[in-house]
Amino acid sequence: MMISEIKKHLTECIIPFWKSLRDDEFGGYYGYVDHELNTNKKAEKGCILNSRILWFFSNAYMLLKDESLLDEAGHAFAFLKDHCIDDEFGGVFWSVNYDGSVSVPTKYTYNQAFAIYALSSYYDASKDEKALTLAREIFGVIENRCTDDGGYLEAQSREFELITNEELSENGVIADRTMNTLLHVMEAYTELYRVSGLTDVKYRLHFILDTICRYIYNPAKHRQEVFFNNEYEPIIDLHSYGHDIETAWLLDRTVEILNEDEFIKKIAPITKDLTENIFKVAFDGRSLANECANGIVDETRIWWVQAETVVGFINGYQKDPDKKEYLRAAKSEWEFIRDHVIDKRNGSEWFREVDAAGTPFDQSPIVEPWKCPYHNGRMCIEVIKRGIDL
């Protein structure tokens, strides 16, 4: 029942909505739709939004084999290649204007990673060698320009001079290193390794997994730390519930792709612990709270957190079939999404955030640089592919 509902939602809501935002005049996809469903065709286009759209249409095509989806992916690829890439200094801009001219040229490592993630999937879908070549080039940019002896840097200028990390810091802190950037570099490298088998990518995945085990995962608190100084010392007491449940299944995906016993044995206890703890402390029986900062829980139900909860609990059940409570949790979470997070208005998609009772915030946009089809579209794709129904 759940699979059929989710497939119908994917094909009749999410896909048509994002197709409707295609910009055939200037390329890419419109970058902003407000809460009242007004599209701002002259809003800036976040390069991360375009990368996520490219990833989404590529993977939707590989699942559904609908040629129109490959066409949409090709449209997103052309915009990324022609406008989001810095041909002078290398790497990916943070954002461009509606016409494709550069808006914010900052080089965030997080953003480079999502371009690799998207290009790798597009290569798999299209077999266009230019996409794989570009993914490999950006991998080189990250490894040569976005690292130091300790790991991955966060933010740099267009010319790759170190600057403060404004976009990926929050909760009143400015972080030198973040769990989130490391997580999504891992995610991107996993996809690149899956489609290319490159040895240098594999070795960097080893480094990332070791870093997560050594610094990011906190076994005493059964969680990940989020924001760090340069020496990986946490700088805030923050438990990001959504990131923990997302990380659990993404880590499992990475070690599955690597298929190396050393890392399977090292990572399995971590993903099990993260999933169990999230189920105990953050899931209320039907949906997942956002985070807990300095002991205070933010009860907001963020769209992406709800989507990752479905996948995370299904993954937890697949890793441990005795945990049938995870299946019930996934089903309950989907029902909460279906009844409260999906916007039933004609021509809309998901609300960005609702409260614990399911009431939407009336000022939150439907599309902005972070609000994309990556999390909810991926949830649909993962549920269908995994074939676990309720």
Express each pLDDT in 172-196 by its tens digit: 899 999 999 999 999 999 999 999 9
From residue 374, alpha-carbon distances to 54, 177, 273, 308, 380 in Å are 9, 23, 25, 10, 10
d(CA 200, CA 98): 36
Find out whether 115 and 80 touch, Cβ atoms under 8 Å.
yes
pLDDT for 265 equals 97
* Domains: count for the chain: 1
CATH label of the domain that carries residue 171: 1.50.10.10
Adjacent-strand bridge partners of 29: 22
| pLDDT at residue 169, as a whole number | 80
Angle between helices 2-9 and 374-386 (to 10 degrees): 140
DSSP H helices, 146-240, are: 179-196, 199-211
Side-chain half-sphere exposure of 372, counting CA atoms within 13 A: 21
d(CA 113, CA 191): 10
Per-residue pLDDT of the chain (390 residues), as tens digits, is 799 999 999 999 999 999 999 999 999 999 999 999 999 999 999 999 999 999 999 999 999 999 999 999 999 999 999 999 999 999 999 999 999 999 999 999 999 999 999 999 999 999 999 999 999 999 999 999 999 999 999 999 999 999 998 888 888 899 999 999 999 999 999 999 999 999 999 999 999 999 999 999 999 999 999 999 999 999 999 999 999 999 999 999 999 999 999 999 999 999 999 999 999 999 999 999 999 999 999 999 999 999 999 999 999 999 999 999 999 999 999 999 999 999 999 999 999 999 999 999 989 999 999 999 999 999 999 999 999 987
Beta strands in 116-236 (DSSP E): 147-148, 151-152, 155-156, 177-178, 217-218, 223-224, 227-228
DSSP 143: H
Q: Which of 261, 381, 263, 268 is closest to 318 using CA atoms?
A: 268
Q: State how far the Cα of 385 lies from the Cα of 390, in Å rounded to an integer.
A: 14
> Are 141 and 129 within 8 A, CB to CB?
no
> Where is 328: in which H helix or E strand?
helix 324-336
- Residue 188: its pLDDT value, please? 98
Distance CA 10, CA 68 (A): 14
Contact 123, 195 (CB under 8 A): yes
The residue assigned the tokens 């007004």 is: 38
The Cα 91–Cα 84 span in angstroms is: 9
Distance CA 382, CA 390 (A): 15
- The per-residue pLDDT for 35 is 97
Query: Which amino acid is residue 343, in one-letter code?
Result: D
Domain range for 345 is: 2-386
Q: How far apart are the first and last CA of the chain?
A: 6
Which stretches does DSSP call E strand in 234-331? 238-240, 291-293, 296-298, 301-302
Cα 335 to Cα 338: distance, rounded to the nearest angstrom? 5
